[in-house]
Amino acid sequence: MLNIEPGMWGLLGVVTGGLITTGASYFLESSRERRESASLAAAFKGELRAIQQIVTRRKYIETLREIVEYIDTTGNDFPALGVRIEQEYFGVYKANVSKIGKLPSPLPERIATFYAMTFALLEDFKIASTGLPPNSSTDDQKRFYGDMITLLEDNAKAADEIVAIIGAKYG
């Protein structure tokens, strides 16, 4: 049997109670953070999938390939791309950009990269919708539209990787 002085039992009880309370608080806070992280990841996963579906269903890559082919075969300028993007599709990103760091690595970096490329693509679509500058050669136009295709394809791969990481981490 332990030989503890009677006054020490009270102190031992306080220390033990404090440790139990701290451990329980840590466990509850950790569980809450995991739930928030999983919820945030699921929201990004949904938004990325929606963006991918929009690009696929509207056939942006195919259309740009047709434009490059048109310029190649005819040698003519392409006047303007008939695509206007007026709707903001990045609600999850804009509402949670300050929380991305709470996600496990490498998600914060990958998500930031995806959206930076997406915003660059939006700028390109705005330029293409009004037509490239009049002094643009057909080679400039092919390069411009070809770069847009590459960005769209790279962004699709980036989205697939992010979705796969989220799936592996959170199920």
pLDDT digits (tens, 9 = 90+) for 117-150: 999 999 999 999 888 887 889 999 999 999 999 9
Do 22 and 61 meet the contact criterion of CB atoms below 8 Å apart?
no
How far apart (Å, rounded) are the C-alpha atoms in residues 118 and 146? 16
CATH number of 37-170: 1.20.120
Q: What pLDDT digit, counting tens, does each position of 23-61 carry?
A: 656 555 556 678 899 999 999 999 999 999 999 999 999
How far apart (Å, rounded) are the C-alpha atoms in residues 28 and 11? 26
How far apart (Å, rounded) are the C-alpha atoms in residues 135 and 159? 35
How far apart (Å, rounded) are the C-alpha atoms in residues 71 and 138? 7
Does this model's pTM top 0.75? My answer is yes
Q: Please state the separation of Cα 20 from the chain's center in Å.
A: 39
Cα-based distances in Å from 7 to 3, 11, 13, 149: 12, 7, 11, 77
Do 112 and 34 meet the contact criterion of CB atoms below 8 Å apart?
no
pLDDT band, very low/low/confident/very high, at 4 (cuts 50, 70, 90): low
Helices (H), 97-137: 107-130
For the chain, the straight-line distance linking the first and the last C-alpha, in angstroms and rounded, comes to: 50
Q: What pLDDT digit, counting tens, does each position of 51-108 carry?
A: 999 999 999 999 999 999 999 999 998 888 877 777 778 999 999 999 999 999 999 9
Q: Where are the domains of the chain?
A: 37-170
Q: Comparing 124 with 16, which gets the higher pLDDT?
A: 124
Helix (H) or strand (E) holding 139: helix 138-170
Q: What is the pLDDT of residue 23?
A: 63
